[in-house]
Amino acid sequence: MTRIIEINNAAEAIKEFIALGVDPAGIKIMAPKAVFRVLKISSLRPVAANILKQESLSYGAETATPYGSIIQAVKATDVLLFGTIRQLLAIAKKLKAHQFGLPAVGAEIEKVLADRPLPILKIGKQAFNFGRRTFIMGIVNVTPDSFSDGGRFRAPSAAIAQAKALFDAGADLIDIGGESTRPGSRTVPAKTEIARVVPVIEKLAGKMPLSIDTRKAAVAAAALEAGADLVNDVSGFRFDRKMASTVAKYKVPVCVMHSSGTPRRMQANPKYDDLIGEIIASLEQSLEIGLNAGILPDKFVIDPGLGFGKTLDHNLEIVRRLKELKSLGRPILIGPSRKSLIGQVLELPPTERLLGTAAVTALAIRNGADIVRVHDVKEISQVVKMADSIVRRK
């Protein structure tokens, strides 16, 4: 009996080539034909969009454009380009011979399609070799008003003990924060924040990789002097103009996150015309700010900012489309732990959101996450190991 099975995963398709006994030279030729991709290209001039459409058709691919672009009734337009990898690379090469900004489009298409491994990132004494496994960032909030733990680790001794427990449970690095950034929270003076985090960092420095979760350059500098190894800035360099130069001065890695507005007002009816496109554009700006300040290109981690100026639907869409952030060529960190999106779906308080966190974590790994930021390290480390065995095992 003849049976037909659809294989919609590129890696699995290549495995089937091998299982069939196809010659390696043949696999090299045919594999790019077996992978279909859809690219969204923003802000093209109509003349450029129309040329792109014609070139796409000549290679058997297609470009979707609005009618206003065809008749050149708009100044700029977005388009969808879709075809096999082989077709798209051929189109990219051809675009480099055109005008109207198309050479840059061709170069960007090649960049997006390139399957380049992420650079190894050294955080403290540990080398993070992304792609082989997912790394875990454990959370320690040295605050009286954390949404997730109610200030349980406000005392330095409690925070130090918790950091050690999380590290022993499987965390690869510990993120220490002295200011709550939950929705509706107010800014804490830098001196207060420093007084909370520095004693903890001083006791833990050198024993485990440490991240300082702050938006303020003064706090970052104090934490780095005390022994922190990475800066985690939820504002993406937008809260404090000195933050990027501070990171550059200490030559440490930095995680830049997307957020819409300040924590106090970020959940006041957030709206996006193009959610993922706007997140990517904002992160690109954060990367540019950092690069202009002197931070090396391989020092960045990016975070789409679950819960920071997003509705439930926005947050769910981010997890579904997380892989699209790979176009930025940086490791992706995501923080689903006990977030309101889980509470909204499951109708549970923060203390009962472990299983929801596990589900989001597993799907985020499936969709491209390189680091997951969580409270419940012992339990989530099992989720990570299981998800990695499915997603990353060759």
Tally the domains of the chain. Answer: 2
Banded pLDDT at 264 (limits 50, 70, 90):
low
Angle at which helix 217-226 crosses helix 190-204, to 10 degrees, equals 20
Residue 28, domain member (yes or no) = no
* CATH number of residue 272's parent domain: 3.20.20.20
Domain-ending residue, one of 90, 113, 136: 113
Q: Which helix (H) or strand (E) holds 232?
A: strand 230-233
Residue 1, domain member (yes or no) = no
The residue-averaged pLDDT of 157-167 equals 96
Do the beta carbons of residue 357 and residue 338 sit within 8 Å? Answer: yes
Q: What is the pLDDT of residues 193-235, one digit of tens each?
A: 999 999 999 999 999 999 999 999 999 999 999 999 999 999 9
104 and 135 housed in the same domain: no
Query: Would strands 77-84 and 36-44 be described as parallel, antiparallel, or unpaired?
Result: antiparallel
60 and 173 housed in the same domain: no
Residue 262's Cβ-count burial label (10 Å; 0-12, 13-18, 19+) is middle
Domain of 145, in residue numbers: 121-391
Which residues pair with residue 333 across a beta bridge? 371
Residue 11, domain member (yes or no) = no
Q: Which of 249-258, 267-276, 370-379 has the lowest mean pLDDT?
A: 267-276
Q: What is the pLDDT of residues 338-385, one digit of tens each?
A: 999 999 999 999 999 999 999 999 999 999 999 999 999 999 999 999
Report the SS3 class of residue 229: coil
Residue 74, domain member (yes or no) = yes
Residue 26, domain member (yes or no) = no
Considering only CA atoms, which of 287, 324, 368 is closest in space to residue 40?
A: 324
Instruction: Output the CA torsion sign for 289, 231, 118, 315.
Output: negative
Residue 30, domain member (yes or no) = no
150 and 289 housed in the same domain: yes
Which candidate in 196, 299, 339, 353 is catalytic? 339
Banded pLDDT at 25 (limits 50, 70, 90):
confident
Amino acid sitting at position 50:
N
Residue 365, domain member (yes or no) = yes
Return the pLDDT at 150: 62
68 and 168 housed in the same domain: no
pTM as predicted: 0.87
User: Could you confirm whether 366 is annotated as catalytic?
Assistant: no
User: Could you confirm whether 326 is annotated as catalytic?
Assistant: no
